Amino acid sequence: MNEVIAQETLRLAKGAVILDLICLLISGGLGYSLKSMALGLLLGTLFELLHFQLIGLSVKRSLSNPSPAAARRGMTAGVLARYILSGVIIWVGIRSPSLNVFGVVLPLFYPKMIYYAGAVYGQLRKRKEEKTQGGRT
């Protein structure tokens, strides 16, 4: 289980670096401060990776719990704790003059963006392979 969590975290980290660079390029083109955007993206990305690790540990802990009721309570407590942490990070992004709040919040959506892009890419590849297979018969 730890290996799966580590592999997925690495996958998210690679995607996050690419998305961070894209955000920096766009924000620079729009005239935003690159320093505050970079700091916001760094904080948001680090928190996003920590958040993903916490989800993995929570699932692992729940799966090892023999009681379904206790596992459910543990998952609920973990979700609540992660929501509170997310709120604190967003609050820090809003209150800090040296952080761009958009840069702090956007990385929280990176997992959805990365997994969605991966699914779309997989479907496009599958269609392309089907067309090549269909043309060869």
The mean per-residue pLDDT over the stretch 77-94 comes to 92
Q: Where are the domains of the chain?
A: 2-131
Would the CA dihedral through 54, 105, 36, 88 be positive or negative?
negative
| 8 A C-beta contact, residue 39 and residue 100 | yes
What are residue 94's phi and psi, to 5 degrees?
-75, -45
User: Considering the chain, what percentage of its residues have pLDDT values greater than 70?
Assistant: 96
pLDDT of residue 136: 60
Average pLDDT over residues 93-99: 92
Q: Please give the DSSP secondary-structure letter assigned to residue 33.
A: -
Side chain identity at 29, as an amino acid letter? Answer: G
